[in-house]
Amino acid sequence: MSPQQNKTGKWRWPERLAGGYLLLFLLMAVVVPATGLIQHPYENTQSGPSYQPPYIFSFSTSGNSTNIYWLGTDRVGQDVLAILIFGARTALVVSLPAMLLATIMGVVLGSLAGFWGNSGIRVSVAACVLGLSGLLAAGYYAFCVRQVHWLNAFQSGTFSILQELGIAFTIFTGFGIIGWLLTTVAIKIGLKKTITLPIDHFVLRAIEITGAIPRLLLIMCLIAFAKPALVNVVVLAALTYWTSIARLVRGELLQVKELPYIEAAQVAGIANWRILLKQALPNALPPVIVAIAFGLGNLISLEATLSYLGIGIPAYEASWGKLIKGILQNPKAWWLVVFPALTLCFTILSLQIMAERLLKKLSPRQQQF
Amino acid sequence: MRVRLFFYFLILHFFIQACRPAGNKEEVVVRTAADPESLNPISFTTANTAQIVALLYQSLLTIDLQDQQLKPLLAEQLPTVVQAKDKSFITYRLRNEAVWDNNKPITAQDVAFTLKVIKAPLVNNETMRAALEYVHDIKLDATDPKKFTIECDSYTPNMSWEIGDFAILPAYVVDPQQLLEKFTLPELENQYDSLKSHPKIKAFAAWFNSARFTRDTAYLKGSGGYRLSDWKTGQYVKLKKKQHWWAERLSPSLAYITAYPAQINFQIVPDNTTALLALNNEQLDVYAGIPATSFVQLQSEASFQKKYALYTPSTYDFTFIGINGRHEKFADKRTRQAIGYLLDIPRMIQVSMGSFAVPTVGIVNPADKIYYNDSLRPYTLNLAEARRLLHAAGWTEKNKGWQKLINGQIIPLTITFNYKEGNSEFENIAFIFRQAAAKLNIPVNVQPVEAGLLNKRIQAQDFEVAVRYLSGNPGIFNFRPILHTENADLQEQNFTGFGTPESDRLIENISETTDQKKRVALLRKLQKVMQEESNLLFLYFNTDRIAIHKRFTNFKISAAKPGYDISSFQLKSD
């Protein structure tokens, strides 16, 4: 083992702290709510007194053991500790799926752009024309014609949105099959001219357009139309967070593509998509993993921001941001800000520290920070 | 290094000082939560605008905040009313001293002109026109230009107040081309639709609906003691006292017609926290509607009490829960009563109003002891009673919930609970209600809805249960618009579908009777019927929380809006 690797392998104390904290966070967010030891703050039918200061700072011997509020209570007498624990769950429920979706979108689009570039994909003119008109028609039928249904779906909740998405998917698939059949016919009758598809160009424009609008503003505008539901937040966050991943994957693949072993594989006649999946992507992924860790922190703070502003997050989801908002109604209740702000800071900081550690581990060349 | 630090500190100090407004001793600075948007005396919409409009314009009558009595303002005395078979004639005479800014007397012509503006087609006057729909004509006295008689439908005691309550406009400023001169009130009423295409009416509406009469200092001129001097949208509205105001020449002078402060500055501060900071820095003289928790804190600070006086006048603003009685789930009044027994009103008052509210059994303010039905009890949290009533209404408890066979279908008892998005008071009420309902296994789906959308839904009667807020006035007993069944259709104000033949009769008699004893009996009966029906579950009447700087005196704190008389503020002579 080289000394450098030693250096990476060793856990420095901030990293240990961060790792320990994240484990605790996961334990709190996943295990504790499932055990039923602590009731969901908004399902609890027994409230305590409003604005009870935290017991740990009260130094009083009053209060029986059944209702000691270690971190105090909020305006309606709910336990701040319970809100913190269930708020952690909410943060996780929003950030993980959103990041997963964003990663899938980012990796797919980034690979297309980076690996094939502007000249890697050749399609027949017939396929292009038919595909484009099919896409437009499908878009028209799935979104314009059904816009009333979409609005209703967003107003009425999660299941209806998934149903609408299913219908849209069916429409697109249907048009895809029809397009493919027509293309086959067209090629059969002699329309064999092909052109290159500037996929890189398209993806870059999409990244620029999405990036041009301030993210929070865009999400706020979109969520204003929808009924508050976690699924809406997840979907909209994913639609705006894929760009950084896509850009990273594209950049890495542009580098990796030029490496000798990829060229060798191409010469050997292995199919492009296999080279991409087996050789190129695994080497391009390390920075993406780091970006995911950073992105999770961003999404957790986005969830807190949205719930603080009172948009998008349903009324009875425990959330750190909503807890902080309580200070507006009683500036003296410091515990409503201090504890959630600390958990928020520690979570994001720990994610950043772990992301840095991953970065070091995955690319030993870049160790001198 | 230290010298440099000190220098930076000095610069910082200089900037902080520069940020503070230069205190004008003669100016009263009032916090207002929202930009007035329009100061048009006919079409303004918000309650806080009414306060500004009342300083620029005057009406025939006013409420003296000192004793909450109706008193003559532009009128010489309270009107004389003559009742005929199905008509009534209300006669006023204007004060001799009353003149416009150009020193021309305010005459009956101006009152007639104002009524024409309120009745004219195409003008933004919907609210006023609806409120004065029983006014049909105005007759000017042939010999006395200051005297006139307004002709109305059959008499109700509210009329004399309502007819005395609109701002009188100067015809020479509002209609210099005399476009409305030729029209009479009956014409404007009877030919309302056909006159919409009349070129003169079109021209006047275009002229009057324009920005001139919503915000222009040159056109917003009334007979009030103040003129609009400056208005920066979202920042402030400033009023200046007039130099030679007619009411100063009144002898003997009247204590309720005043304009003492030289300047009034309505500072627009939407955020409560910012407003509190400004108050603590003495940048505000008046702040009404202070959040309860902050108010309690201010009450305990001796240093603050040295600078400001704190008041908690009762108000006529109340919060209630409306249940859609037309909905199949809530058609049975026992179901609605059961919902009433899920209300922990004392806790709602403590949590959402910081204890600054008074529980009520109905639409009458508990402060009005003679009218308030003290034999009734406000709803209390009583799960056993709620369960009993649900059973009585035909609901059965099945697998952790309630259901009932309605029109051959099994309907589960769920409640969708709406309130105005962003309102923390309502949010807390919803939470406490939901918690109590959960104890009986009734799922409550709480949905905060954007204010405009919620109003639309409620008008379309597309809701189940909603928490609302209404603002009243002392001595107003006309409940027709909000409680009579004739106003229970779509887009009308009786949105819960409340009403029985008995309640309709009571409402009609209450607004028509002039006999005090009879009115007391009727009002008490109405409260009983309303609690029986429980379409509206009354929670509490708010208590206002006001801070006013002690450099002034003579506040006239009162339950009538806005809770104090700013025109009477006088600097202490110390």
Provide the shortest C-alpha distance from residue A355 to chain B (in Å): 37
* Interchain CB distance below 8 Å, A50 and B439: no
Positions of chain B with pLDDT under 50: 19-22
Residues β-bridged to residue A196? A122
For A310, nearest residue in chain B (alpha carbons): B422
In this predicted structure, the answer to whether residue A27 has a pLDDT above a threshold of 70 is yes
In this structure, the answer to whether residues B286 and B331 fall within a common structural domain is no
Provide the shortest C-alpha distance from residue B355 to chain A (in Å): 12
pLDDT of residue B335: 97
Band (A40; pLDDT cuts 50, 70, 90): confident
Among A225, A329, A337, the strongest candidate for a mutation testing the B interface, having the largest count of B CBs within 10 A, is A329
In this predicted structure, the answer to whether residue A18 has a pLDDT above a threshold of 50 is yes
In this structure, the answer to whether residues B356 and B387 fall within a common structural domain is yes
In this structure, the answer to whether residues B246 and B182 fall within a common structural domain is no
In this structure, the answer to whether residues B551 and B536 fall within a common structural domain is no
Band (A3; pLDDT cuts 50, 70, 90): very low
Check whether the bond before B252 is cis (ω within 30° of 0): yes
Residue B241 in domain: yes
For B443, nearest residue in chain A (alpha carbons): A43
Domain count, chain B: 3
CA torsion through residues B270, B272, B278, B284, sign: positive
* Interchain CB distance below 8 Å, A310 and B438: no
Contacts of B280 in chain A (CB under 8 A): none
User: What are the phi and psi torsion angles at B62 (to 5°)?
Assistant: -150, 165
In this structure, the answer to whether residues B538 and B552 fall within a common structural domain is no
What are the start-end ranges of the H helices in A277-364?
A: 281-309, 320-325, 335-362
Please count the residue pairs, one from chain A and one from chain B, whose beta carbons lie less than 8 angstroms apart: 45
What mean pLDDT is predicted for residues A232-257? 90
CB-facing half-sphere around the CA of B453: CA atoms within 13 A: 13
Provide the shortest C-alpha distance from residue A45 to chain B (in Å): 5
Q: Is any Cβ of chain A less than 8 angstroms from the Cβ of B570? A: no
* Interchain CB distance below 8 Å, B427 and A50: no
Q: Is any Cβ of chain B less than 8 angstroms from the Cβ of A329? A: yes
Residues β-bridged to residue B186? none
* Interchain CB distance below 8 Å, A45 and B438: yes
pLDDT of residue B86: 84
Structure letter (DSSP) for residue B86? S
What's the pLDDT tens digit per position in A42-76? 888 788 888 888 887 665 545 454 568 888 999 88
Contacts of B431 in chain A (CB under 8 A): 42, 76
Among B351, B416, B440, the strongest candidate for a mutation testing the A interface, having the largest count of A CBs within 10 A, is B351
Q: Is any Cβ of chain A less than 8 angstroms from the Cβ of B421? A: yes
What's the pLDDT tens digit per position in A133-171? 888 888 888 888 887 887 777 666 667 777 888 898 899
What's the pLDDT tens digit per position in A285-312? 888 888 998 899 999 999 999 999 888 8
In this structure, the answer to whether residues B533 and B551 fall within a common structural domain is no
Residue B22 in domain: no
- Chain A (226-245) residues lying within 8 Å, Cβ to Cβ, of chain B: 228
Residue B14 in domain: no
Distance between start and end Cα atoms, chain A: 21
* Interchain CB distance below 8 Å, A331 and B294: yes
Residue B36 in domain: no
For B421, nearest residue in chain A (alpha carbons): A310
Q: Is any Cβ of chain A less than 8 angstroms from the Cβ of B300? A: no
* A227, A154 contact by CB (below 8 A): yes
Domain boundary among B209, B234, B255: B209
Residue B86 in domain: yes
CA distance B475 to B465: 29
Q: Which of B541, B562, B181 is nearest to B378 (CA)?
A: B541
Provide the shortest C-alpha distance from residue B492 to chain A (in Å): 25
Residue B30 in domain: no
Residue B268 in domain: yes
Q: Cα B91 from chain centroid?
A: 27
In this structure, the answer to whether residues B323 and B428 fall within a common structural domain is yes
In this structure, the answer to whether residues B409 and B481 fall within a common structural domain is yes
For A157, nearest residue in chain B (alpha carbons): B447
Contacts of A47 in chain B (CB under 8 A): 435
Provide the shortest C-alpha distance from residue B51 to chain A (in Å): 27
* Interchain CB distance below 8 Å, B424 and A43: no
Stretch (H or E) spanning B145: none
Tokens representing B282? 């003495």
Q: Which residues of B357-390 are buried (b: 16+ CB within 10 A; e: fewer)?
A: bbbbbbbbbbbeeebbbeebebbebbeebbbebb
In this structure, the answer to whether residues B189 and B240 fall within a common structural domain is no
CA distance A108 to B60: 74
Of B273, B294, B435, the CB nearest to A47: B435
In this structure, the answer to whether residues B369 and B239 fall within a common structural domain is no
CA distance B138 to B126: 20
For B424, nearest residue in chain A (alpha carbons): A329
CA distance B140 to B144: 8
In this structure, the answer to whether residues B460 and B563 fall within a common structural domain is no
Band (A4; pLDDT cuts 50, 70, 90): very low
Contacts of B351 in chain A (CB under 8 A): 50, 75-77
Contacts of B435 in chain A (CB under 8 A): 44-45, 47
Least confident of A114-118, A227-231, B257-261, B368-372: A227-231
CA distance B13 to B16: 5
Residues in chain A: 369
Q: What is the phi-psi region of residue B194: left when phi exceeds 0, alpha when psi lies from -120 to 50, beta otherwise? A: alpha
pLDDT of residue B74: 95
Check whether the bond before B562 is cis (ω within 30° of 0): yes
Stretch (H or E) spanning B506: helix B501-512
Q: How many Cβ atoms sit within 10 Å of the Cβ of residue A83?
A: 26
Provide the shortest C-alpha distance from residue B38 to chain A (in Å): 27
Residue B258 in domain: yes
Provide the shortest C-alpha distance from residue A176 to chain B (in Å): 40
Q: What is the DSSP string of A279-301?
A: IIHHHHHHHHHHHHHHHHHHHHH
pLDDT of residue B242: 95
Of B293, B297, B446, the CB nearest to A315: B446
* B48, B563 contact by CB (below 8 A): no
CATH of the domain at B185: 3.90.76.10
CA distance B98 to A256: 90
Q: Is any Cβ of chain B less than 8 angstroms from the Cβ of A151? A: no
Helix (H, G, I), strand (E, B) or coil at A103: helix
Among B276, B290, B293, the strongest candidate for a mutation testing the A interface, having the largest count of A CBs within 10 A, is B293
For A43, nearest residue in chain B (alpha carbons): B435
For B290, nearest residue in chain A (alpha carbons): A329
Provide the shortest C-alpha distance from residue A271 to chain B (in Å): 54
Q: How many Cβ atoms sit within 10 Å of the Cβ of residue A90?
A: 25
* Interchain CB distance below 8 Å, A315 and B422: no
Q: Is any Cβ of chain A less than 8 angstroms from the Cβ of B304? A: no
Q: Is any Cβ of chain B less than 8 angstroms from the Cβ of A49? A: no
Provide the shortest C-alpha distance from residue A233 to chain B (in Å): 17
In this structure, the answer to whether residues B168 and B307 fall within a common structural domain is no
Q: Are strands B236-241 and B263-268 parallel, antiparallel or unpaired?
A: antiparallel
Contacts of A74 in chain B (CB under 8 A): none
Provide the shortest C-alpha distance from residue B338 to chain A (in Å): 18
Q: Is any Cβ of chain B less than 8 angstroms from the Cβ of A305? A: no
Contacts of A331 in chain B (CB under 8 A): 273, 276, 293-294, 297
The domain in which residue B261 lies consists of: 226-313+545-571
What's the pLDDT tens digit per position in B271-302? 888 899 999 999 999 999 898 888 988 999 99
Contacts of B446 in chain A (CB under 8 A): 315-316
